[in-house]
Amino acid sequence: MARRARLAAALATVMAVTLAGCSSGSDGFPEPGFSSRAPVPDGALPRGVTYKEFTRKLDGRAVSHVQMLAIRPDAEVRVGAVHGTSLAHAETVREMAEAAGAVAAVNASYFDISTGKNYGGYDGDPLGLYTEGGRLLSEATNGRTALLLSTRDGRLDARIDEVTTEGQVISDDGARGELDGINRVAGRVLGCGGVGGDRLAVTEEPMEEPYGGLCTDMDELVAFTEEWGDRTPPGPAGSMEAVLDADGRVVDLRKPAGGRVPAKGSTLYATGESVDWLQSHARRGDRLKRSVQMNDMVGLPVGGQVETAVGGRYRLLKEGESALGAAASTPRKAPRTLAGITEDGALLLVTIDGRNPGVDAGATLAEAAELMASLGAQDAIGLDGGGSTSMVVLGELRNNPRETPGKVIERPVANALALFPR
């Protein structure tokens, strides 16, 4: 009962602040330029889901608008990840939510954004761990924090943990090859985690820890699933690709790599020394099996069926305390997308507007952590933010996404966390 009382008190604090669309913020600040939106009607969302908008002075001075979905463990919804028509191409959160029939959604993964200095040509490619419907569609940036969702006894089970993935390809003759990646350009590892022969792109220094920049690995075996899209990337000279049917049997071999992904099938794309392994163990009619283990940071398998997994970059809270470490001193304010879990297991999905001087200041990482703690979160993670931050409820964009100070623009992103009635 004490836990429920603390959570109720925290949520009551949130509900008491001024809702967006009123003439002034909760601290008496005017809200010029903030688009007034009609409140979400009571009962419009499934039982166990609440939505609120409010303002906060996150640094004690400058105000920001905040949007929050709170999902109880027994809510009559399924929370899952969705992407657009393919993993290779980005779409807006509103487009994805509409196509999937979701009642609400927020943006999720970091991705290979087309404006990035290391852009690889596929703007929907999620960076780090991504699982959708129980299917692993992108390997972890080993050591980075992830949000893990599943359903247990009809209830939402949400966890936050540091996750690694270890992949193998097993041939009919029992040979095992290291699987370096899933659904990404081979040889090019953006946001690398020290897998296999990852090296810093600039210095070629071996990389053993999570890194936000670009790594390279000339000897890779990468799997492409049908979710990637119609065609795999054109391969370099000497590369090779095995085309597999739905049962994992080799139906074609092509050199160089690059070409169509079969419906309900997949491919194995090899570069460098991995070509030798594929040539030796992938013949027409042979069966190749992918095996990927998801582990926690002490090397133990992540327990239970993980239906949805989305990798982030920073863990904000752990057991109610800041988990930012040195990142807590980062001074940059930005729009933020956050996920948190309360003591009672409720999932909080929160967006903070920014980049609108005098109206929305955004938040530092430390301020984001403090906000999540004030809302009752015991554990919290930062998802992709900045111009990606988007909250859609009942088909309407509820926040004000901004690439830069000025015009509101909905940025196409890799994927979203979405709520589906059940």
Residue 310 carries which DSSP code? E
pLDDT of the residue at 256: 98
**pLDDT band with cut points at 50, 70 and 90 for residue 235:** very high
State pLDDT tens for residues 350-360.
999 999 999 99
pLDDT of the residue at 161: 95
State pLDDT tens for residues 260-314.
999 999 999 999 999 999 999 999 999 999 999 999 888 899 988 899 999 998 9
Domain ranges across the chain? 2-128+312-421, 164-294
Mean pLDDT value across residues 175-200: 89
Q: Who has greater pLDDT, 61 or 316?
A: 316
**With pLDDT > 90 as the criterion, what percentage of the chain qualifies?**
81
Q: Give the Cα separation of 267 and 241 in Å (integer).
A: 7
**pLDDT band with cut points at 50, 70 and 90 for residue 212:** confident
Q: Is the pLDDT of residue 19 over 70?
A: no
pLDDT of the residue at 241: 98
State pLDDT tens for residues 116-167.
999 999 999 999 999 999 999 999 998 899 999 999 999 999 999 999 999 9
User: What is 164-294's CATH number?
Assistant: 2.60.120
Start-to-end C-alpha separation, the chain: 28
**pLDDT band with cut points at 50, 70 and 90 for residue 239:** very high
**pLDDT band with cut points at 50, 70 and 90 for residue 194:** low
State pLDDT tens for residues 30-78.
333 345 588 999 899 999 999 999 999 999 898 999 999 999 999 999 9
Q: Which residues contact 127 (CB under 8 A, 6 or more apart)?
A: 109, 110, 111, 112, 138, 141, 190, 191, 311, 414
**pLDDT band with cut points at 50, 70 and 90 for residue 421:** very high
Q: Give the Cα separation of 23 and 211 in Å (integer).
A: 44
State pLDDT tens for residues 321-347.
999 999 899 899 999 999 999 999 999
Q: Give the max Cα distance, the chain.
A: 71
Q: Is the pLDDT of residue 12 over 90?
A: no
Q: Which residues contact 397 (CB under 8 A, 6 or more apart)?
A: 94, 390, 391, 410
